[in-house]
Structure 1
Amino acid sequence: MPSGPHPTPRRGSRVVSAVAVAAVVAAPLLASALSRGSPDALLAVPVEPLAVALLLLAVAARGVRMLVAGLFGLTVMLALAVAALDLAFTATIDRRFDPVQDAGAVAAAVGVVADATGPAMAGLAVGGAALALVAGAAGLAAAALRVGRAADVAAPTGRAVVTALTGVWIAAALTGAQLVPGVPFAAGPAASVLTQASARAVQSVHDDAAFERALGSDPLAAADDSRLLAGLEGKDVVFAFVESYGEVALRPAPFTDRIAATLRAGEDQLARDGYTARSALLESPTFGGVSWLAHATLQSGVWVDSQGKYDRLTSGDRRTLTSLFSAAGWRTVAVVPSNTEPWPLASTFYGYDAVLDARNSGYRGPGFGYARMPDQFTWQVFHDHAASTGATPVMAEIDLVSSHTPWTPTPRLVPWHRLGDGTVFEGHGDGQPSPMEVWGDPDRVRDRYAESLAYSLGAAFSYLREHSQRDLVLVLVGDHQPARIVSGSGADRDVPVTVIAQDPAVFEQISSWGWQPGLHPSADAPRWRMDEFRDRFVAAFSG
């Protein structure tokens, strides 16, 4: 330990030392506050600064002191990064970050940001985050060293203060003292964030084992292809996922009036055109985003609630709705308007015969946020493809993404004969607020969500009116609830699902389901988990 008299610190030096103390104390508490999503976590005494101060007081070697300070800075910044991811995941998909499962989801989120704001802004955001992580770790290490030097200069008073605070922390920990209910006064905030993340990682390993068992027991693996889906023979069957169409859209609220009006008008129109609709609710494996997990769950009949499980599922050969329809004689197609690159899983896992996306749909109009083409044009792309197959029935999954976050700008419906190559949509976004303008006000976010969803649903009903088809069976289903800023804190994971068709025989085969008439399932409608849908659907229509 340094010995001998110490010079009296100047006033400026004392200010710098006070700032350093504030930094090393506040940073771990901030990690806890971010992870919990509550400022209450700031009302505690963190153990990490006390531990680093004791270590720095106990060693004299400069290299060792720098190592201790560096580890402190790195650990706290890592905890802050995990806590920020916890906050982001909770706000968007309603669960905390899982280090084992969610690396791919983080990369996908960057892609969504790039779609909404452009690759340059997304790259700037990623680079800025990495720079902040490095600079923060270095800054906290320097602050910790400054605190250690200040304690040396103030010795023995410095040692006495650190020792006294440590004693207070231990006493508070032993007695369970709390300034705020549920928040221990003696806390280990950074350590707690990292420990909880590690626990989630361990739990993921156990969940993965159960998932592997589910993958290995497919009840349709040996199904008789000659009897598959015979009750739908000769019919085009469409599974249309409506982005962010959650149960919250069905419940009374000021911002849902527009959606309710669209559903009422849709019901009236379908009835006039000879259609019947039956609706229920499905529990989605995801919330607020990561739509492909819901698609995979509905298609495969297993619960896919993370990117890691999705990767394992799609690397195997479990039968999907698509591959089952293909085995039964349907031509299968995926209509994914926001895909801009090849999608190998379309053929290697799902079993599609064709993929129609942004590269080959002939769209030349403007994009609308995440949506590279309006849903109305997407329906026309599907219709043109189905017409080109002749007498062979088509099974399709269509992704309707005009209601994808950030929910602005929104296109307008145009006369179907004017669609052309989509240039008719030029100017539809003019005068509408940008995502940056909208997301500063939760009320505006909810209003824009409702407008985009009403457009997406309205485009589907308009398609059915324009192209009335007795031999069409449409399953209109939400993929997940919208983010918490729209759904609110009490929302569950349920989404609407509706079967629409003109042929009464379709509904005779699903009468045992007990689904409700119309497009608007009530709160007491039947509720299934989304992974139950595949087997029930195949059983109902396979005799």
Structure 2
Amino acid sequence: MSQVTDQLPDTEKDEEEDRTEEVAERPGLFRWRVRYPRTARGVTVGTTVLAGVLVLCALVLPNRVERLTFDAFFRIPAEGVLIAGLLLSVPARARRIIAVVTGVLLGLLSVLKFLDMGFYQVLARPFDLVLDWILLDDAAEFVRETYGRTSEILAVIGVVLLVVLVVAATTLATVRVTNLMTRHRPVAARTTLILGTAWITCVTLGVQFTDVPLASKINADYVNKRVDQVQAGLKDGEIFRKQAAVDAFAKTPPDQLLTGLRGKDVLFTFIESYGRVAIDDPAMAEQTDSVLTEGTERLEKAGFAARSGWLKSPVTGAGSWLAHSTFLSGLWIKNQQRYRSLTTSDRATLNSYFRKTGAWDTVGIVPGVRRAWPEGKFFALDRIYDSEHLGYHGPYFSWTPVPDQFSLEAFERLEHGKKDRDPIMAEIILASSHNPWSPIARMIDWEDLGDGSVFHQIKEEGTDPKEVWKDSEKVRAEYANAIEYSLRSLVEYMERYGDEDTVLVFLGDHQPVPTVTQGSRSRDVPISIVAKDPKVLERVEDWGWTEGLKPAEDAPEWPMNTFRDRFMTAYGPDGGR
């Protein structure tokens, strides 16, 4: 120790010797500092440097994965300069309090940014502080269904520990940097002044490092946007209530509703994650085009015709129930708050208007539902068949409880194939194209479906999602395969069971996750109407939709919430005229 202290000024020697004597008196762990002074000093310096780096990273951390580049961290944060100036100008007690509060806030902001990263990767939008907490339960459920209960528990524990670790680390790091600034106040004051001057200069001159401004106020902008988001979320409820109160068909007599479809079985079928990317993306276009072209030809041979267009979904990546309720209710259901408001209201949906006529039984085929679904009552479904009531005794395919082909066969067995029945309006959810698209079922002979046990072998032959998700191109390939399976299931069902009185409306609910869309901001999904009776399609000729199952690139694009009223108008007494 004498070799170290001899190199210091007298006053610093005395302080160092006092600290040494104090440490020497401490028990256990602290004695190593006396025995190994050079190592202790190295650890102290290293820890302080790491603390400084951590604070800087927290100050300039972006909230999107694709922005995690070197140049994103090569910036002067205005918040850091201001906080440093504040810490140097207040008394010791206030300084300690400010340092701790600043560290906690930096940690919480970092956690929120990590949440944003995850939401952007799945939903192509940031986390909503007011409305999105319930989605964390859905995320845990998805992990359980895809990777197992153990993985879910480990993931939840890991997330909790990560949150605690991040907040604790940023707090300790901020306190340590504050103590360093206090011990070297003159140097810290000059450095703060220089950085502040540099920040103002960079803003004035527009200095950039690569394409990123050198002067940053990322956290101030981020917090400001979040405040605006929270305020908008709080006001959204009142806006939505006013929109929901307007319904063009609320006073229409039952005998004047949907007269152009009387006697028909109308099947509204959602294909999970069937988005525009499946048709437009060059890597998938050829495969999907082949399926749609072949499907159009096969349906034409069976006597069917089709028209197709585009709808803009309120969501992307996930949130199927929001898209379904938007389509059926004629309202823009973009968040969970709106969904809850809708399903606790008396707003009429397509389903309830069909039931209101007294001319249709309403049926739901919802294999993705695996627990109580009180919303089913709101959607006016007389009978609901969830994953436990379709007669399926095969395996899950990751998240997907029932393969699409089996769901459609079950619908035929349970409802559509019955004799002497009333016309049916069915809401059918096809879930095989749900993320993670691995493993995927494949088409088999309809006569071999049985109770679904045959799918055990098919699942064993499929891919492993943990391996697929190591490579984004494999993910995209499996997504295309899953969409192909869903489309083939539907086409073959119509060939096999469709008749003169069958009208099929099928559509995607939303685009897949950004891993598949690769940054596309489009929220378009394809929609098609298939019927054998030419009078059905004559009613929508003025829509300008494309002939066949594949919508043209320039086919009309409507917001999804406008479909309900357009459809009911087209099939009303005036036939849309």
Match of 1:240, SS? Answer: strand
Question: Which residue number corresponds to residue 183 of structure 2?
Answer: 153
Aligned residues of 2:440 and 2:463 also touching (Cα < 8 A): no
1:237 aligns with 2:266: yes
Question: Which residue number corresponds to residue 318 of structure 2?
Answer: 289
Aligned residues of 1:36 and 1:87 also touching (Cα < 8 A): no
CA positional deviation for 1:35: 8.9
1:115 aligns with 2:154: no
Question: Which residue number corresponds to residue 331 of structure 1?
Answer: 361
Deviations 1:136-156 (A, max 9, x none): 111111111211222233343
Q: 1:12 to 1:250 in 2, by over 3 A?
A: closer
1:10 aligns with 2:41: yes
The one-letter amino acid paired with 2:270 is: F
CA positional deviation for 1:299: 0.2
The one-letter amino acid paired with 1:302 is: L
Deviations 1:118-165 (A, max 9, x none): 233223222212211111111111111211222233343233333433
CA positional deviation for 1:290: 0.6
The one-letter amino acid paired with 1:301 is: G
1:464 aligns with 2:494: yes
Within the candidate set 196, 210, 218, 1:166 is matched to: 196
Match of 1:69, SS? Answer: helix
1:143 aligns with 2:173: yes
Give the distance between the partners of 1:67 and 1:223, measured in 2 at CA: 65
The one-letter amino acid paired with 1:536 is: R
Q: 1:32 to 1:242 in 2, by over 3 A?
A: closer
Matches within 5 A, 1:239-254: 239-251=268-280, 253-254=282-283
The one-letter amino acid paired with 2:243 is: A
CA positional deviation for 1:396: 0.8
Question: Which residue number corresponds to residue 356 of structure 1?
Answer: 385
Within the candidate set 325, 339, 351, 1:310 is matched to: 339
Within the candidate set 285, 292, 297, 1:268 is matched to: 297
The one-letter amino acid paired with 2:286 is: D
Q: Normalising by structure 1, report the TM-score.
A: 0.93
Give the distance between the partners of 2:241 and 2:459, measured in 1 at CA: 46
The one-letter amino acid paired with 2:61 is: L
The one-letter amino acid paired with 1:292 is: W
Question: Which residue number corresponds to residue 554 of structure 2?
Answer: 524
The one-letter amino acid paired with 2:448 is: R
Question: Which residue number corresponds to residue 3 of structure 2?
Answer: none
Within the candidate set 390, 395, 406, 2:436 is matched to: 406
Question: Which residue number corresponds to residue 214 of structure 2?
Answer: 185
The one-letter amino acid paired with 1:340 is: R
Question: Which residue number corresponds to residue 57 of structure 1?
Answer: 88
1:92 aligns with 2:125: no
1:392 aligns with 2:416: no
Q: 1:86 to 1:36 in 2, by over 3 A?
A: farther
For structure 1, which runs of at least 5 residues remain unmatched after alignment?
A: none
Within the candidate set 53, 56, 60, 1:22 is matched to: 53
Q: Identity of counterpart residues, as a percentage?
A: 36
Give the distance between the partners of 2:154 and 2:97, measured in 1 at CA: 31
The one-letter amino acid paired with 1:73 is: G
Give the distance between the partners of 2:334 and 2:59, measured in 1 at CA: 30
Give the distance between the partners of 1:363 and 1:119, measured in 2 at CA: 22
Within the candidate set 307, 321, 337, 1:278 is matched to: 307
The one-letter amino acid paired with 2:324 is: H
Give the distance between the partners of 1:516 and 1:465, measured in 2 at CA: 21
Q: How many residues align?
A: 537
Deviations 1:293-334 (A, max 9, x none): 110111000111111111111111110000001111211111
1:255 aligns with 2:289: no
The one-letter amino acid paired with 1:500 is: V
Q: 1:251 to 1:176 in 2, by over 3 A?
A: closer
CA positional deviation for 1:431: 4.0
Give the distance between the partners of 2:95 and 2:369, measured in 1 at CA: 52
Question: Which residue number corresponds to residue 382 of structure 1?
Answer: 411
Q: 1:32 to 1:284 in 2, by over 3 A?
A: closer
The one-letter amino acid paired with 2:133 is: A
Give the distance between the partners of 1:302 and 1:468, measured in 2 at CA: 31
Q: Normalising by structure 2, report the TM-score.
A: 0.88
The one-letter amino acid paired with 1:533 is: F
Give the distance between the partners of 1:170 and 1:86, measured in 2 at CA: 29
Q: 1:5 to 1:205 in 2, by over 3 A?
A: farther
Give the distance between the partners of 1:519 and 1:35, measured in 2 at CA: 35
Within the candidate set 514, 524, 538, 1:484 is matched to: 514
**Which structure has the bigger radius of gyration?**
2
Match of 1:428, SS? Answer: helix
Within the candidate set 540, 550, 559, 1:510 is matched to: 540
Give the distance between the partners of 2:95 and 2:310, measured in 1 at CA: 59
Give the distance between the partners of 1:375 and 1:456, measured in 2 at CA: 6
Question: Which residue number corresponds to residue 365 of structure 1?
Answer: 394
Match of 2:250, SS? Answer: coil
Aligned residues of 2:438 and 2:478 also touching (Cα < 8 A): yes
Give the distance between the partners of 1:326 and 1:259, measured in 2 at CA: 35
Q: 1:138 to 1:65 in 2, by over 3 A?
A: farther
The one-letter amino acid paired with 1:293 is: L
Give the stretch that moved more between structures: 522-531 or 384-393: 384-393
Deviations 1:60-102 (A, max 9, x none): 545x444323222221122222222222222222222222232
CA positional deviation for 1:39: 5.3
Question: Which residue number corresponds to residue 467 of structure 2?
Answer: 437
Give the distance between the partners of 1:331 and 1:208, measured in 2 at CA: 33
The one-letter amino acid paired with 1:267 is: T
Aligned residues of 2:264 and 2:501 also touching (Cα < 8 A): yes
Aligned residues of 1:35 and 1:84 also touching (Cα < 8 A): no
Match of 2:254, SS? Answer: coil
Aligned residues of 1:304 and 1:310 also touching (Cα < 8 A): yes
Within the candidate set 69, 73, 77, 1:42 is matched to: 73
Match of 1:391, SS? Answer: coil
CA positional deviation for 1:490: 3.3
Aligned residues of 1:70 and 1:137 also touching (Cα < 8 A): no
CA positional deviation for 1:278: 0.9
Q: 1:318 to 1:51 in 2, by over 3 A?
A: same
Q: 1:106 to 1:40 in 2, by over 3 A?
A: farther
Aligned residues of 1:52 and 1:144 also touching (Cα < 8 A): no
- Please report the RMSD computed on the Cα atoms of aligned residues, expressed in angstroms: 2.2
The one-letter amino acid paired with 1:140 is: T
Q: 1:39 to 1:434 in 2, by over 3 A?
A: farther
Aligned residues of 1:32 and 1:41 also touching (Cα < 8 A): no
Within the candidate set 192, 209, 222, 2:251 is matched to: 222
